[in-house]
Amino acid sequence: MLLARRSSFVITLGFLLFSSGCGGNGGDSSPSATTPQEPAATESSTAAQPDGSDSAVAAARVTDDPIEAAYFGVYVWKAAVEKAGSFDIDKVREAAYGLEFDAPGGRKRMHDSNHHTYKPVYIGEILRDGQFKIVKEFNDGGLVEPDAYSSYLHPDGDVPSPTGGPVAGAEYPQPDVTDDSVKVGILHSLSGTMAISETSLKDVVSFAVDEINKSGGVLGRQIDLVIEDPASDWDLFAEKARKMITEDGVAVIFGCWTSVSRKSVLPVFEEYNHLLFYPVQYEGEELSLNVFYTAAPPNQQLVPAAQYMLDDGVKKFYLLGTDYVFPRTANKVLKAFLLAQGVPETNIIEEYTPFHHQDYQTIVQKVKDFAASGDACVLSTINGDSNVPFYKEFANQGLTSADCPIMAFSVAEDELRAMDVPPLVGHLACWNYFQSIASAENAAFVEGFQAYCQANGLK
């Protein structure tokens, strides 16, 4: 039987006061697990929804890890522009290195060179109201240094050099900046299979821009948004990115969710030496001078989650994902880590389904058989709307978190809004931010985002 879940952890830190420099909590590159000492939080009471259910579907807008990363990414770009005193791409890039900032979930900082973010790492457990109780923190609550390349795939530290950046003598499209305005791009799927996750990122970037404009803008200029819907079509991501850079003259683009969409646009950003802020956890194995990765690489999500399950008594791992770059590479990292910890290869199963896959009956039956011994879990890299039928079938076949916990890497509060939550209670996710973080600053962020969405009719 699995060990009892740990008690909750709460933090209180400020947000949105930016400064440059390299101080603050550095943390180790490999997070050390610690058990929080705060008393366990009780499950939030769930008010009846208009349809009579206690599902999170009809609940107010929520925040989650990619939403926080997208939000503070806008402020990191603003701080870098103001530090550089320019919208010039190369100057902004250099100014972003080492920036310290207070985000809704607490103090963070940009890495000095590898384009990632020092962040805390948490394990959260699903509650009936669609929120997460934080049951584990890592690195004693401090920030974990990000690794673009996993030490489990590169044990000797032999990693590729960064790609992209300016080429001597080359000329690139320049941002369309006037005395009064600057254009900024949003590139997120507002339709198709990934709209369940990406629409909220468009909304929160718009929220951050609205705040910035009301406070005076960037270098005295108001931000004009250019919003494109690539409609979960990976080739269309590249086409839309090219348009925004070469025709619209945006100074920066905030966008992409899936790694396949990021891989699609990467040649465009490197061709034009432009900047993308990418706000979603990813598989690592990439470092471009034209991308700032504001969410987690594997050592800030995948590896800590697997370590948590090992510590909780799990001996068998079902690696289930959507068939594309992130799950395939993430599972290479996970499998290498598990083998290094002594897990037999026979105790690890990998399986993949296409985007928008809906029929999980056979797969869940296989999971049920695999978990019959009582010491198995699912490490899920399922993305997009396929999560809805997967969790539904899991519950339909009578499986619970006590039988076989699901540790998800792409399910957070926003996805839970579209799901029947009560059967999911007790399942887990590993993120660097949860809406349930208890601080006045985070409460203000959540309230502000919800109010902005309500005022603008965003659902």
3-state secondary structure 22-60: CCCCCCCCCCCEECCCCCCCCCCCCCCCCCCCCCCCCCC
User: How far is residue 5's CA from residue 108's CA, in Å, rounded to a whole number?
Assistant: 27
User: How far is residue 210's CA from residue 189's CA, in Å, rounded to a whole number?
Assistant: 21
Instruction: Please determine, for residue 401, whether its predicted confidence score (pLDDT) is greater than 80.
Output: yes
Q: What is the DSSP letter of 42?
A: P
Instruction: Please determine, for residue 50, whether its predicted confidence score (pLDDT) is greater than 80.
Output: no
What's the pLDDT at 60? 83
Tell me: the pLDDT tens digits for 158-215?
999 999 999 999 999 999 999 999 999 999 999 999 998 999 999 999 999 999 999 9
What's the pLDDT at 436? 97
Helix (H) or strand (E) holding 184: strand 181-187
pLDDT (average), residues 377-401:
96
Q: How far is CA 420 from CA 58, 59, 394, 408, 440, in A?
A: 10, 12, 12, 16, 29
Tell me: the pLDDT tens digits for 81-131?
999 999 999 999 999 999 999 999 999 999 999 999 999 999 999 999 999
User: How far is residue 310's CA from residue 119's CA, in Å, rounded to a whole number?
Assistant: 22
Helix 361-370 / helix 387-396 crossing angle, nearest 10 deg? 60
CA end-to-end span of the chain: 41
User: How far is residue 254's CA from residue 70's CA, in Å, rounded to a whole number?
Assistant: 7
What's the pLDDT at 8? 30
| Domains (range + CATH), the chain | 181-293 (3.40.50.2300), 299-431 (3.40.50.2300)
Poorest-confidence range of 56-70, 124-138, 149-163, 374-388? 56-70
Contact present, 411 and 131 (Cβ < 8 Å): no
Q: What is the DSSP letter of 111?
A: -
Q: What is the DSSP letter of 312?
A: T
Instruction: Please determine, for residue 45, whether its predicted confidence score (pLDDT) is greater than 60.
Output: no
Instruction: Please determine, for residue 433, whether its predicted confidence score (pLDDT) is greater than 50.
Output: yes
What's the pLDDT at 330? 97
Instruction: Please determine, for residue 148, whether its predicted confidence score (pLDDT) is greater than 80.
Output: yes
pLDDT (average), residues 433-439:
97
Location of structure tokens 């009301």 = 214
What's the pLDDT at 46? 31
Instruction: Please determine, for residue 319, whether its predicted confidence score (pLDDT) is greater than 70.
Output: yes
User: How far is residue 431's CA from residue 230's CA, in Å, rounded to a whole number?
Assistant: 26
3-state secondary structure of 383: coil
Q: Among residues 195, 377, 409, which one has the least CA distance to residue 304? A: 409
User: How far is residue 287's CA from residue 154's CA, in Å, rounded to a whole number?
Assistant: 14
What's the pLDDT at 384? 87
Helix (H) or strand (E) holding 380: strand 376-381
The backbone torsions φ and ψ at residue 325, rounded to the nearest 5 degrees and listed phi first, read: -60, -55
- For the record, the structure tokens of 47 come out as 């008010």
User: How far is residue 55's CA from residue 423's CA, in Å, rounded to a whole number?
Assistant: 10
Helix 325-340 / helix 259-271 crossing angle, nearest 10 deg? 110
Q: Confidence band (pLDDT; 50, 70, 90) for 372?
A: very high
User: How far is residue 380's CA from residue 370's CA, in Å, rounded to a whole number?
Assistant: 15
Contact present, 258 and 385 (Cβ < 8 Å): no
User: How far is residue 424's CA from residue 44's CA, in Å, rounded to a whole number?
Assistant: 15
Q: Confidence band (pLDDT; 50, 70, 90) for 358?
A: very high
What's the pLDDT at 429? 98
The backbone torsions φ and ψ at residue 19, rounded to the nearest 5 degrees and listed phi first, read: -150, 155
Contact present, 115 and 148 (Cβ < 8 Å): yes
User: How far is residue 39's CA from residue 362's CA, in Å, rounded to a whole number?
Assistant: 40
Name the more confident of 426 and 33.
Answer: 426
Helix (H) or strand (E) holding 95: helix 89-96
Residue 329, amino acid: T
pLDDT (average), residues 66-87:
98
- Mean confidence (pLDDT) of the chain: 89
Instruction: Please determine, for residue 336, whether its predicted confidence score (pLDDT) is greater than 50.
Output: yes
pTM of the model: 0.87
Location of structure tokens 């996993």 = 150
Helix 259-271 / helix 234-243 crossing angle, nearest 10 deg? 30
Tell me: the pLDDT tens digits for 233-291?
999 999 999 999 999 999 999 999 999 999 999 999 999 999 999 999 999 999 999 99
User: How far is residue 271's CA from residue 190's CA, in Å, rounded to a whole number?
Assistant: 26
What residues contact residue 436 under an 8 Å CB cut-off, 6+ apart? 41, 124, 131, 132, 133, 134
User: How far is residue 223's CA from residue 181's CA, in Å, rounded to a whole number?
Assistant: 6
What's the pLDDT at 48? 31
User: How far is residue 187's CA from residue 251's CA, in Å, rounded to a whole number?
Assistant: 13
Name the more confident of 5 and 291.
Answer: 291
User: How far is residue 402's CA from residue 426's CA, in Å, rounded to a whole number?
Assistant: 8
Location of structure tokens 């404009």 = 213
Tell me: the pLDDT tens digits for 18-43?
333 333 333 333 444 433 333 233 33
